[in-house]
Amino acid sequence: PKEAQIWCYVHQYLVEAKKRGVLVEVLMFLFQLSFSTLGRDYPVEGLTAAQANALQHLREVGLVYRRKTASRRFYPTRHALGLFAGVLGDAGDASGAGGGAGGAQERGYIIVETNFRVYAYTSSSLQIALLSIFTNMLTRFGNMVVGLLARDSVVPAFMDGITAEQIIQFLEANAHPEMRGRAPLIPMTVTDQIRVWERERNRMTFANAALFEEFSNDREFELLARYARETLRCELASNAGQRLLAIDAGHLDALRDYYRNVVRASAGADDDDDGGGGGGDDGAPMEDISRFIDLS
């Protein structure tokens, strides 16, 4: 069958990838490919050299469509989605053995318990390797492996670009028939904890910012900070004592214009009222408030 031929090819490619020391990179690519959508294009940019090489090999056997070798987009085919999502059935490793495992693959093969233990009834090297991306493998038998979902196994997957929802979807898509009657399919304690582990990495948010400094006096700082905070609503942080103002970089031009047209003009009028003097730092307006540090 065509599926068995494709599986033998992929299995041998994984064997060679392991010899070259790039097995993890290739498996990550196959895992993400299993969640792709038929008919949707995906960018080549961002793939590592090993993943780009794997993409080319998958193209040659028809698992992905790429119009030209240098094309920047590719499309997963139906065969790829079926093979990597565990729908087509297992060809029984390179030896061709394990025909009975194919039926188990079609029905689902993963059981997840509330104690975070994972039981996978499969002898497929590919499926075991995909599961091990986010699971600590404890025991391996002839047709079953036992693993444990833990923080130290899930977080590295997050760092490689896999999301909590993708992990949960993978477990649900390959759930054993004995779990099909459950509601929810995967224990809520497990899914909630996976999401918590992901949120732990997202406690800090990043934004493109601009930092204003070296204000001539407190009045300039207060005017600009008030305008950023109350009118533009772009203030990210400020320190009145050190006269530092951080804003969303998208409002940089608007704040510059406000300084030049309002703050600087106001400072000039004050100088005229004082007789045109202005020696000292507090009397002279800033030369150019546009000096900023990009924090992006």
Q: What is the pLDDT of residue 75?
A: 92
List, in sequence order, every residue forming a beta bridge with 136; answer none if it has no partner: 148
Q: What would you report as the CA-atom Rg of the chain, rounded to the nearest whole angstrom?
A: 29
pLDDT of 120 = 94
Chain centroid to Cα 27, Å, comes to 16
Residues near 19 by beta carbon (within 8 Å), at least 6 away in sequence: none
125 touches 14 (CB < 8 A): yes
Helix 49-60 to helix 23-33 angle (10° resolution) is: 60
Give the per-residue pLDDT at 142. Answer: 83
Would you call 152 exposed, middle or buried from its count of C-beta atoms within 10 A (0-12, 13-18, 19+)?
exposed
Q: Which of 64, 67, 26, 63 is nearest to 47 (CA)?
A: 26
What is the per-residue pLDDT for 12?
Answer: 85
Cis check: omega of the bond before 76, within 30 degrees of 0: no
**Local confidence pLDDT in tens for the 296 residues of the chain:** 676 777 788 888 888 888 888 888 888 888 888 778 888 888 998 888 999 999 999 888 888 999 888 889 999 888 787 666 554 444 344 333 334 344 444 468 999 999 999 999 988 877 888 899 899 999 998 889 999 999 999 998 888 878 899 899 889 988 998 888 888 899 999 999 999 999 988 777 777 888 988 888 888 889 899 999 998 888 888 988 898 999 988 888 898 888 888 877 776 655 555 544 444 444 333 334 444 444 44
The confidence score (pLDDT) of residue 89 equals 42
**Among the listed residues 146, 144, 94, the one whose alpha carbon sits nearest the alpha carbon of residue 123:** 144
Residue 152 token pair: 């130290």
What pLDDT was estimated at residue 271? Answer: 56
Report the 10 Å Cβ neighbour count for 84: 24
Please give the pLDDT value at position 117. 95
